Amino acid sequence: MSKRIAGPEIERLIQLLAKVPGLGPRSARRAALHLIKKKELLLAPLSAALAEALEKVRVCSVCGNVDTADPCTICTDPRREQATLIVVEDVADLWALERAGAMNVRYHVLGGTLSPLDGIGPDDLNIAGLVARVAEGGVAEIVLAVNATVEGQTTAHYIIDRLAGLEVKVTRLAHGVPVGGELDYLDEGTLAAALKSRTAF
């Protein structure tokens, strides 16, 4: 647009909001207008929350989670079982597993998966940190909760190789039919895996 219709501050806000995942250029404009209209109710608290996050949030030096404390709330929680670590690719996966709430244990965030095509090698992931945590002792089981993708599985195999010689049990998530899933819509690989791992009724 050649004509100026508003101060550069509003244009800049829209451009930045458009970079937030889930918002595009169009919805960023709507979001900016909404924020400006709800100045006291939303813009002010959101501005404060972002400033606080910017100031306080850091990456946990133990597990790679993000939190305002380092070590993070999960690593320092004394009620969590200490002998099991769940290895995830990303903090988002950690949050998803916590919402599932099935295991009261600690985590290790890799920060991605091995991907030679994207130039991501073992040194770009927090694998050395995982080996060090296991070598320190006190960890009896590692659950490799990486995605069921080629990259995820490659990373899992690499981690197993790196842990060779250390006294630790390595497990992975079960494959099967998602809860609420319809067989008709599932791929053959999943169905074959669900049949192979069938359990007694």
Residues that bind its own copies (CB under 8 A): 1, 3-7, 9-10, 12-13, 16-17, 19-23, 27-37, 39, 42-47, 49-54, 56-57, 65-69, 72-74, 77, 91-92, 94-95, 98-99, 101, 104
Minimum distance from residue 77 beta carbon to its own copies (Å): 8
CA 46/CA 52 separation, integer angstroms: 10
DSSP state of 118: G
Minimum distance from residue 133 beta carbon to its own copies (Å): 19
User: What six digits make up the tokens of 109?
Assistant: 């965030």
Nearer to its own copies, 91 or 159 (CB): 91
Nearer to its own copies, 5 or 183 (CB): 5
Nearer to its own copies, 94 or 142 (CB): 94
Indicate the SS3 state at residue 86. strand
Nearer to its own copies, 102 or 164 (CB): 102
User: What six digits make up the tokens of 96?
Assistant: 């998803």
Minimum distance from residue 43 beta carbon to its own copies (Å): 5
Nearer to its own copies, 7 or 165 (CB): 7
Nearest to 102 by CA among 77, 76, 84: 84
Q: Is the dihedral of CA 46, 52, 54, 57 positive or negative?
A: negative
Indicate the SS3 state at residue 50. helix
Minimum distance from residue 76 beta carbon to its own copies (Å): 10
CA 124/CA 112 separation, integer angstroms: 8
Q: Tell me how far apart the 2 most distant CA atoms of the chain are, in Å.
A: 70
Minimum distance from residue 84 beta carbon to its own copies (Å): 16
